[in-house]
Amino acid sequence: MAAAEHVLAIDNEKSMELPVLPPNQGFEAFKDIIFGSVAGMAGKVIEYPFDTVKVRLQSQPAHIPLRYQGPLDCFRQSIQADGLRGLYRGISAPMAGAAVENSCLFFSYRIIQDILRATCYPTADSMPFSALLFSGAASGSITSLALTPIELVKCKMQVPLEASSSKIPGPLTLVAAIFRQDGILGFWRGQMGTLIRETGGGAAWFGGYEGVSAFFRKYHSTASPRDSESLPIYQQMIAGAAAGISYNFLFYPADTVKSRMQTEDINSAGNRGLTTQELETLSSKAIAAKANAYCPYSKFRVGACVLTKTGEYIAGANVENVAYPVGTCAERVAFGTAVAAGHQDFKAVAVATDITPGASPCGLNLSILRSPRPGSISGLD
């Protein structure tokens, strides 16, 4: 049989179309995570000084004269006090947060869009604008769960203490202090504010970006309605700027609430009541210090101890001296011990004597002056 008989004739009049393969979802997700992380960290380096000023302005207590009169005044005072480096205080936590936020945001935005296409819009060429808003809001709410702990540490590091200290606490120190004070759930303080900001902000950000991009595509002669990447770079930058303005302007009140919730203990730790655990710590430490004081020529034994603003026990002291009020004398020694150890701000002091049953916690919030006189303890007179 001739070989020519086995040749199949091909009808050239019919075009052959290959099926369109779905994109590699794994690779697309990888790009979202990597590129989102890099973009987030790069943007954070540029915006962080402005974010520091924002948080410091937001966290000012309303019941006392404002420390900063505006953004420019905050910039001026911050640079005078700590230099330009002070505006970047605590940037390690938000750098990690920016990587987590952007990668999680874009990854979840793509996943939610894929779910909507498969369930609600299986035949549509493009998703309606309302679906894009929903995708942005849902991705923002998911991102808020991972972002709140990082935002908490960031805000605590950005707000300066009332008194200066030679040693500024780092991220790990703050993480340990938060866990000791509030437990694991304490890392999600301000979650409601973050949820509102990220949910509404996600809708505003992606809605602003997609809306401006659609406007440019409509009047761009060479771009197809579905090809967002065909837009010129400057138009994509304008769309991104519009998205950022929408995000920050529309939901700035929620961000203010979040920042105040997350820095409340820094501004007013000494004004709120002591927890049961802190009371027990104060009492036991003061009684233990009193028990160690012994002198055959003294009439009273006195013990005192102090706590930091985060509720951490610093130091105790025992004193026997009838020439001075025993409680005041013990407080001076306890505070002097704490200051010598490098501490500046205190939340409470407890005093126990032979004539008082148990310890007597006092809700004191004493700030040591920036330059105390040698041999004196300011705020105790």
Single-letter residue type at 6? H
Task: Please give the pLDDT value at position 168.
Answer: 62
Of the candidates 101, 278, 320, 331, the residue annotated as catalytic is 331
Domain with 317, as residue range(s), is 276-362
Task: Please give the pLDDT value at position 371.
Answer: 34
At 346, is the secondary structure helix, strand, or coil? Answer: strand
Q: Whole-model pTM above 0.85?
A: no
Whether 218 and 148 share a structural domain: yes
Examine residue 138 and state whether it is found in any structural domain, yes or no: yes
CATH of the domain at 239: 1.50.40.10
Residues 6 or more apart from 50 whose CB is under 8 A from it? none
Task: Please give the pLDDT value at position 349.
Answer: 57
Task: Please give the pLDDT value at position 16.
Answer: 46
Whether 229 and 141 share a structural domain: yes
Contact criterion met (CB below 8 Å) for 206 and 133: yes
Task: Please give the pLDDT value at position 369.
Answer: 29
Whether 252 and 293 share a structural domain: no
Whether 203 and 252 share a structural domain: yes
Question: Among 90, 91, 112, 101, which residue's Cα sits nearest to residue 38?
Answer: 101
Whether 159 and 55 share a structural domain: yes
What b/e string do you get for 321-337 counting C-beta neighbours within 10 Å, with b at 16 or more? eeeeebbebbbbbbbbb
Domains held by the chain: number: 2
Examine residue 377 and state whether it is found in any structural domain, yes or no: no
CATH of the domain at 298: 3.40.140.10
Whether 102 and 191 share a structural domain: yes
Examine residue 374 and state whether it is found in any structural domain, yes or no: no
Whether 126 and 245 share a structural domain: yes
Low-confidence ranges of the chain (pLDDT < 70): 1-29, 61-65, 160-168, 220-229, 264-381
Q: Is the dihedral of CA 197, 202, 204, 208 positive or negative?
A: positive
Separation of alpha carbons 320 and 298, rounded Å: 6
Single-letter residue type at 160? P
Task: Please give the pLDDT value at position 1.
Answer: 47
- Residue 331 annotated to the active site: yes
Examine residue 263 and state whether it is found in any structural domain, yes or no: yes
Task: Please give the pLDDT value at position 173.
Answer: 82
Examine residue 235 and state whether it is found in any structural domain, yes or no: yes
Whether 101 and 239 share a structural domain: yes
